A and B are shown apart, each in its own frame.
Chain A
Amino acid sequence: MIGAQLTGNLMQGLILGGIYGMATMGLSLIFGVLKVVNVGHGAFIMIGAFITLWIFTAFGLAPVIAIPVALIVGMAIGFVFFYLVMRRLIKAPELASLLATFAIGILLEEIAKLIFGSEFRGYNWAVGKIILPITVFPMSKIYAFIGSIAIALLLYIWFKKTRAGTAVRSVVEDSEGARVCGVNVGWVYALSFAIGIGLTVTSGVLLTMFIPVGINPYMGGGYTLKAFVIAVLGGLTSPYGAFFGGLIFGLIENGSYTLFALIPGVEAFAMTRFLSFLILLLILLIKPTGLLGAK
């Protein structure tokens, strides 16, 4: 009985994990290239969620349509913030860029609050479901999972096969090395930041396809924490490491939730949060370069 419930929840966890992974790739990309931790990460997820809500409620269009919109809007926002703010901070002390991304996050949240108010919103995209003996998958979750994998794969191919992707990889490895090869490192910074933000906003679309409720200007905070844990799991600088980190995290989160719920008097949701902090702390203590990262 518990076995079946656990299996069902782990299946849900795997799917959610794929989306978590995709939602962390942007964070890892930005850290890998610019060595900047985007503390405002969750606010960009929130933008993606509102884009989805808007496209669904105002035009009656399927949330999948929001994916390319979010990517384009996200990249545009990324370029704007890069040239307005981040470009000046690359050589500054780390604290400056931490504060800047923190401030950008708050700014976006407050703008969203001015426009949409602070109540929780949701939508209902009924496109059928798959009913298994142990669990139920709404098709929207399946589409979100497929979307995550497709985007992760596309990013992988872009990295490995294109000239721009190669330039980004070279800067991640050694920016001075890239410079002496003739790579326009300043442009790689701008492009990576824009793609990183674009991916993050897009992940907001996929997350609402999994959880179509609770859309609110401040919804991003929890995701920022999760993304930090996942990025560390995945080795910090590697977007595909982050993707696999997400899968692992989704399994741990849902698995542990099921188990904590069995213990009487335990607040299972709070415990999974505690567990994520614990994992983060342990990995940082034992293997600071991340579980899946290089030495």
Chain B
Amino acid sequence: MLKVNNLESGYGPMQVLWGASLEVKKGSITSLLGPNGVGKTTLLRTVFGSIEPWGGKITYGGEEITHLPTHKKVDLGLVLVPEGRHLFVGMSVHENLIMGAYLKKALEHIEESLKLVYSLFPILKARTNQRAGSLSGGEQQMLTIARALMTRPRLIMLDEPSQGLAPKLVSEVLETIKKMKSEMGLTILLVEQNVEASLNASDYVYIIHEGTIKAEGSSEKIKGSRDIREAYLGI
């Protein structure tokens, strides 16, 4: 569904991605694993378009989208749950969700979408008029995912959705992600610090290091390969 070929990008004069390639199959959970600072966030942000690609090619559903602006990607159902949440902290939970349905297509289905995210995250319903900035870390993370779901995505890229959460909440977030795949039919590209949990949740795994993909395989294969785990994942 999503194909990334030889992607290059960076910040100012500093190149971070050096020809990274990967593919996300429709209906799968695909994980991108690697140590800190190797370019995982940069890859997701370049695919989404927050950072302009320097080279390479991105296709989505058979269409080339390499230089498509971000709002058009959201309209095509490709959305990012960014690292660091980027909620509208001064707005209420409800207003944040409404912002997720900003585009016309999403707005037409806003009632349905609200029902869906409130049933997925009942705690948000209880907090609906509370300021997003006053939510707990776990609630904020749920709101970030919920806001992304309001755009009615087909492929959702999640950048460390369990960052800073207690272990119990981490598994809750991963359960939710599995539900998004199995019950809502979403395709997922996941970046997660918690290697064990994300290996368990994923169908396919890419290992990124120094801006390129160093290894890939089904999560069973990666789990079974001591070399890969020791070289790149430190477990």
Contacts and interface: CB of A to CB of B under 8 A. Distances in A.
Interface stretch (A124-132, A177-185, A225-233): A177-185
Given A180-B74, A183-B71, A184-B71, A174 B88 contact: yes
B149 to A, nearest CB: 12
B69 A181 contact: no
Interface of A: 163, 166-167, 170, 173-174, 176-186, 294
Contact of A182 (B75, B85, B86, B91): B75
B156 to A, nearest CB: 10
A275 B16 CA distance: 50
Contacts of A167: 102
A41 B70 CA distance: 31
Nearest to B150: A181
B66 to A, nearest CB: 17
A166 B151 CA distance: 16
Interface residues of B, number: 27
Looking at chain A's contact residues, is the secondary structure mostly helix, strand, loop, or mixed?
Answer: helix
B82 interface: yes
Given A173-B88, A184-B69, 7 more contacts: A163-B102, A176-B82, A178-B99, A179-B50, A180-B81, A182-B102, A185-B70
A184 B103 CA distance: 10
A112 to B, nearest CB: 37
B87 A174 contact: yes
Q: Which of A170, A176, A182, A185 is the most central at the interface, judged by chain B CB atoms within 10 Å of its CB?
A: A182
B48 interface: yes
B86 A180 contact: yes
Contact of A180 (B75, B80, B89, B90): B80
Interface string B184-225: 000000000000000000000000000000000000000000
A180 B50 CA distance: 9
Q: Which of A173, A180, A183 is the most central at the interface, judged by chain B CB atoms within 10 Å of its CB?
A: A180
Contacts of A180: 48, 70, 74, 79-82, 86, 147-148, 151
A103 to B, nearest CB: 23
Contacts of B7: none
B48 A177 contact: no
B89 A173 contact: yes
A5 B102 CA distance: 53
17 contacts: A167-B102, A170-B99, A173-B91, A174-B87, A176-B82, A176-B86, A177-B82, A177-B85, A177-B86, A179-B48, A179-B71, A180-B79, A180-B147, A181-B100, A182-B70, A183-B71, A184-B69
